[in-house]
Amino acid sequence: MANCPVSCLRKGDLMKTVSENRKPVEVDMKEIGSRLRAMRKHMELTQNQAAALAGTTAKHISEAERGVCGVSIQVLAALTGLYDVSADYILFGKVEQDQSPWITHAYNRLSPVKKRFFQEQTEFMLEKLNTMDDAETDRLSQAE
């Protein structure tokens, strides 16, 4: 039965096979909220603006960012498009594999607290890099 393709399994067998091979996925609503807030702020959006773009209310965005409630699949899909990230990143903090493999691997091994610190430091560095003029950038590349 384990080698049988999903299409040949009866519903009960499929559920049993899936439950035998998978452990429950834990979702940390506070961590999801923290990521949502960081992405919204990175996009320089208010909760009202994010809500309008995601098809929900500012109250719902606020509650999701505080980890008080989750979001529907429709709102999750809208937020992935709005923030240009995967659902895996929003839900679990996992960076997509098409990005630099070493940083993806290193990031995915961090604890939630260290991931939050990494995100804050990365946003700080990006702000600094984005405010640099071409002459400053040239000086940095020559120093290498």
For the chain, percent of residues with pLDDT exceeding 70? 76
Contact 38, 123 (CB under 8 A): yes
Q: Which residues lie closer than 8 Å to 103 by C-beta, 6 or more apart? A: 95
Give tens-digit pLDDT for 46-77.
Answer: 999 999 999 999 999 999 999 999 999 999 99
Is residue 74 in some structural domain?
yes
C-alpha 23/C-alpha 26 separation (Å) is 9
Write the CA distances from 19 to 8, 13, 88, 91, integer angstroms: 17, 10, 21, 21
Give tens-digit pLDDT for 115-129.
Answer: 889 888 988 888 888
pLDDT above 60 for 81: yes
Taking residues 33-54, report their average pLDDT: 93
Domain range for 98 is 29-130
Is residue 135 in some structural domain?
no
Is residue 7 in some structural domain?
no
**Confidence at residue 7, expressed as pLDDT on a 0 to 100 scale:** 43
Whichever domain contains 80, its CATH number is 1.10.260.40
Is residue 34 in some structural domain?
yes
pLDDT above 80 for 45: yes
Question: Which residue has better confidence, 93 or 61?
Answer: 61
